[in-house]
Structure 1
Amino acid sequence: MKNKSYEYDVALSFAGENRVYVDEVANSLKEKGIKVFYDAFEEASLWGKNLYEYLSDIYQNKARYTVMFISNFYNEKLWTNHERVSMQARAFQESREYILPARFDDTEIPGILKTVGYVSLQSKTPEELAILIEKKIKKDQTFFRRRWSKLSTMISPKPFIFSIKIADKSGIPVKNAKVVLVAGNSTYLEGNSDENGIAHVLIRTRKLYTVLIAHPEYPAVLFPNMNPKEDIEVTIEKTEGFGSLVINKSGQLPMMAGKIEPILTSDKKYALYADNIAIEGGIPQPCDFELNKSLSLEDNAGNIIHLTFRFFQGRIALVDYCVHKLF
């Protein structure tokens, strides 16, 4: 990616009901020398403009980042939804994070997945958020000054540690989560979250990675095409009866005797072998499968698991599973 020059370091998208908080953030950013698009600073520029076209251009082309202040009010407004669509059009075109969600509450916003890392504003002051935004922008600028190749891959002059912090909705750290970074050439790096919910991965080669996160008590999380130029925080949500697993070549599912082994066939299809496990009632193996489509597996003790592959590349697979309890 080129080191593009932007008119604004960050644009702020919010509902009017949250203006008091956002106004403090905007003024703090301005005092720090951050170029911020905030409507109250742009009255002269907005006067007489076709706002539909002008704001589309701002949120799609003229800011390095956009902070989306998510609340129940945000989801109800015509203009904020227009801004959101413009942001998402930009996000689809780029292989890096552009939309930075900041949540007043848990309102669901179309196109913003629950697995996307966000900042909770329930216990964060406007000044603390402004400091975090400043840190994000400065790290981004430092990264581009290093002149990584257009393919986003080169040997880093010094190895560095990439850290991922994983917590649940209540902010409690999630330990023993498996974290795997898979590069486009199918090489991979691994780590596990500690008692603070943090997984550290030593990176020696600058690449784009797909980040996989699995835990036996939480559904799988996947972030494609991530450039690990800075640490991230991830909030995951527990779903009763569901868990996830990263499989390297082959693996064993909880409560099941026998192993499973996904493969890529000669005609580039996904297929699954299962040792002493029936697939879909006993159809011949290897059994073809599709990503995000569930399979039913049963072992010799009658234990049943519903399995869904979320990712498969090289010999690394990310799966969700749901245990069917016998009574």
Structure 2
Amino acid sequence: MKNKNYEYDVALSFAGENRAYVEEVANSLKIRGIKVFYDLFEETNLWGKNLYEYLSEIYQNRAKYTVLFISGFYNQKLWTNHERVSMQARAFQESREYILPARFDDTEIPGILKTVGYINLTDRTPDEFAGLIEKKIKKDQTFLKSRWSKISTLINPKPYIFTIKIESESGELIKNAKIVLVANNLTYLEGFTDEKGLAHFIIRTRKLYTALIAHPEYPGVMFKDLNPKEDILITIEKTKGSGSTILNKSGEIPLISGRIKPVVKSNKVLSLYADNIAIEGGVHQPYDFELNKSICLEDNGGNIIHLTFRFFQGRIALVDYCKHKS
């Protein structure tokens, strides 16, 4: 089935009181090469037209997406509600999302369910929000271009960007968290969160992943059977005195000197080698261990920690650690 060509990638629907923010979004989209319907860009086209009919046509038939900027002002306007009705008429005919809600506040809009995913604008700059719109449009384009062959899509899909955002329970953005996505065939992708708590991955093969997340100030987090079709937000909880790390083959553990190396024996038993580190008071190495059971390690300086393996497959391990309490 041939894809419909739209005049606009996105149409913006908003109340005049929110114009300052929306205009910056529109300008940012224009700079990014996105075809955007924003009324001030269309003054010549709108001049002399029957706006009731023309805007109905725009919001119902001529844009791939519409962004609905929800606010208390929006709900009070005649024209914005006319635009909304046109959008919803289109949405009833579509089998995919068409209306993309973005909220300045918690105002309820007729026909927009609270369960519909939305973007909160209170902590996003116009340029950041324009970036999200661009990403949404490009992900859709990638999907539609590859739709001609389901077999080809499954075997060799077009690359796309998958993003994980990490924050604390208090809403603090967590930077420098290490994230490793381990595929079901044990290949993996790895990255770190930036100042905005975001880690981006280029997904080239359609697989399920186990997501491993580690940070020196937070216990490890693991998500199994992750399908990276939509970006996700993960909230992590701090535990005093605990941290986590991800090992690739071998590595050092904070709070203690020396290196450790987990291995899998031929009988599939998990074992641990430690270089210049005593395991459980000095038992013979390799030391057989189990997932989620604590191991006591001591280095040549008398530093003692408790180590717990949360995940170990292939050569990748997620490890929690905490300092020994005297």
- TM-score range relative to shorter protein: 0.5 to 0.7
Distance 2:264 2:150 in 1: 33
Query: Any idea what the Cα deviations from partners look like across 1:127-180, whole Å, max 9, x if unmatched?
Result: 584441799xxx99x97995766xx96321x21111000000111110000000
How far is the alpha carbon of 1:199 from its aligned partner?
Answer: 0.4
Distance 2:305 2:220 in 1: 16
Q: 2:175 maps to what in 1?
A: 175
Q: How many residue pairs were aligned? A: 213
Q: Are residues 160 and 315 of structure 1, via their aligned partners in 2, closer, same or farther at CA, if it must alter by over 3 Å? A: same
> SS state of the match for residue 205, structure 1?
coil
> Percent of pairs identical after alignment?
60
- The question of 1:281 aligning with 2:262 is answered no
Q: How does 1:1-327 map to 2 (within 5 A)?
A: 33=92, 129-132=114-117, 146=147, 154-156=155-157, 158-324=158-324
> SS state of the match for residue 263, structure 1?
strand
Q: Rg larger in 1 or in 2? A: 2
Q: Is 1:280–1:295's contact at 8 Å kept on the other side of the alignment? A: yes
Q: Are residues 148 and 175 of structure 1, via their aligned partners in 2, closer, same or farther at CA, if it must alter by over 3 Å? A: farther
Q: Is 1:143–1:229's contact at 8 Å kept on the other side of the alignment? A: no
Q: Is 1:210–1:223's contact at 8 Å kept on the other side of the alignment? A: yes
How far is the alpha carbon of 1:185 from its aligned partner?
Answer: 1.3
How far is the alpha carbon of 1:281 from its aligned partner?
Answer: 1.1
> SS state of the match for residue 234, structure 1?
strand
Query: Any idea what the Cα deviations from partners look like across 1:18-64, whole Å, max 9, x if unmatched?
Result: xxxxxxxxxx9x996499xxxxxxxxxxxxxxxxxxxxxxxxxxxxx
> SS state of the match for residue 206, structure 1?
coil
Q: 1:93 maps to what in 2?
A: none
Give the partner amino acid of 1:175: K
Give the partner amino acid of 2:256: M
RMSD over aligned Cα atoms: 3.7
Q: Are residues 221 and 124 of structure 1, via their aligned partners in 2, closer, same or farther at CA, if it must alter by over 3 Å? A: farther
Distance 2:212 2:222 in 1: 5
Give the partner amino acid of 1:244: S
Distance 1:185 1:174 in 2: 29
How far is the alpha carbon of 1:228 from its aligned partner?
Answer: 0.5
Give the partner amino acid of 2:117: L
Question: Runs of 5+ in structure 2 lacking a partner?
Answer: 1-84, 95-104, 120-132, 134-138
Distance 2:262 2:194 in 1: 29
Q: Is 1:154–1:207's contact at 8 Å kept on the other side of the alignment? A: no
Distance 1:244 1:270 in 2: 19
How far is the alpha carbon of 1:205 from its aligned partner?
Answer: 1.1
Give the partner amino acid of 1:132: G
Q: Are residues 267 and 298 of structure 1, via their aligned partners in 2, closer, same or farther at CA, if it must alter by over 3 Å? A: same
Give the partner amino acid of 1:284: H
> SS state of the match for residue 251, structure 2?
coil
Distance 2:114 2:278 in 1: 52
Distance 1:129 1:300 in 2: 58
Q: 1:11 maps to what in 2?
A: none
TM-score, normalised relative to structure 1: 0.57
Question: Runs of 5+ in structure 1 lacking a partner?
Answer: 1-27, 36-122
Give the partner amino acid of 2:289: F
TM-score, normalised relative to structure 2: 0.57
Give the partner amino acid of 2:279: I
Q: Are residues 124 and 284 of structure 1, via their aligned partners in 2, closer, same or farther at CA, if it must alter by over 3 Å? A: farther
Q: Is 1:303–1:325's contact at 8 Å kept on the other side of the alignment? A: no
